[in-house]
Copies of this chain bind each other. A is one copy, B any other.
Amino acid sequence: MIIVIQCADRVGLVAAISGLLAQKELNIISMHEHVDNTANLFFMRLEVDKTIGAEELEENLREILPADALIKINPVPEKKIIVLVTKEYHCLADILVRNYFKTLGASVQCVIGNHDTLQDICRRFDVPFYHLPATADKNLYEQSLVNTIKKYEYDYLVLAKFMRILSHDFVSHFPMQIINIHHSFLPAFAGASPYRQAYERGVKLIGATAHYVTDELDEGPIIAQQIIPANHSLNVQDMVKAGKEIETAVLAKALKLVFDDRVFVYKNKTVVLE
């Protein structure tokens, strides 16, 4: 059973929590903890060796924790997700394969595409695919997204190369529930055609960043980042291809961390207790 706690820090917190667990004869298998001194925040992820009633345990924890504590107790850690895509297959296919072999740590409820390019791969894995083309009226389009999403239970929306910008309104419906992946460079290249800009600057690294989606485009809390080397022998197309490899790897890593309840969000950042 996994127990996740985020609250204001104070002396004796760890003692109180671990004392309670000891009382209940729960043995701690792994415990990760972090304190942000500046923000005076305490983060903890515990794995204990038995599964007991979550309700009673949460109640007991509330008694010893600050009033505003966030507590999550997961007897069954599997999450439910909905994936949004456009035309690029690399991230979606990786998710579908892991979903099929039950190593994703989540189950894919459905896939929604603004193009139908990826319909067939979903069909091959018996995953429902909804083709919802973007319409001139953004509100209308996002309403159709929401309608489809609401048909399912879900913990997270995964933007697996979904190339539409979502409105403030849409995002506010899913606070810290939307995960996105995008290319990253040193330095960042703002504006259109980032790969062309990166190529023209002769970058020596191509990276990817997985992050929660907030109102500010591509500026939400970072979950995972990685890079691969690049050099002059790559043309723009080669760089795009290399970017896809790293995007796939970073999104997979980020999803594993999130589905495993290892990622805490506060302010505009994350604490990842690996």
For chain A, the bracket of interface size reads 35 or more
Contact mask A123-166 → B, CB, 8 Å, 1/0?
01100000000000000000000000000000000000000000
- Nearest B residue to A253 by beta-carbon distance? B245
Q: Contacting A29 at CB < 8 Å: which of B12, B30, B35, B226?
A: B35
Task: Out of B22, B30, B186, name the residue touching A11 (CB < 8 Å).
Answer: B22
User: Given contacts A15-B16, A36-B232, could you give 5 more A-B pairs where the C-beta distance is less than 8 Å?
Assistant: A11-B22, A12-B19, A30-B35, A205-B226, A231-B274
Closest 3 pairs (CB-CB, A-B): A202-B269, A12-B22, A187-B188
Chain B positions within 8 Å of A29 at CB level: 35, 37
Residue A215 at the chain B interface, CB threshold 8 Å: no
A97 pairs with B89, CB closer than 8 A: yes
User: Is A58 among interface residues, defined by CB-CB distance under 8 A?
Assistant: no
**Chain B, residue nearest A125 (CB):** B124
- Determine if A272 is an interface residue (Cβ-Cβ < 8 Å): yes
Q: Is the interface of A mostly helix, strand, loop or mixed?
A: mixed
A227: B residues at CB distance < 8 A: 186, 205, 207, 227
| A226-249 contact mask (Cβ, 8 Å, vs B): 1 or 0 | 110101110100000100010001
Q: Which B residues lie within 8 Å of A28 (CB)? A: 11, 14, 35
A268 at the interface (CB under 8 A from B): yes
Chain B nearest Cβ from A180, distance in angstroms: 13
B222 touches A204 (CB 8 A): yes
Answer yes or no: A174 CB below 8 A from chain B CBs.
no
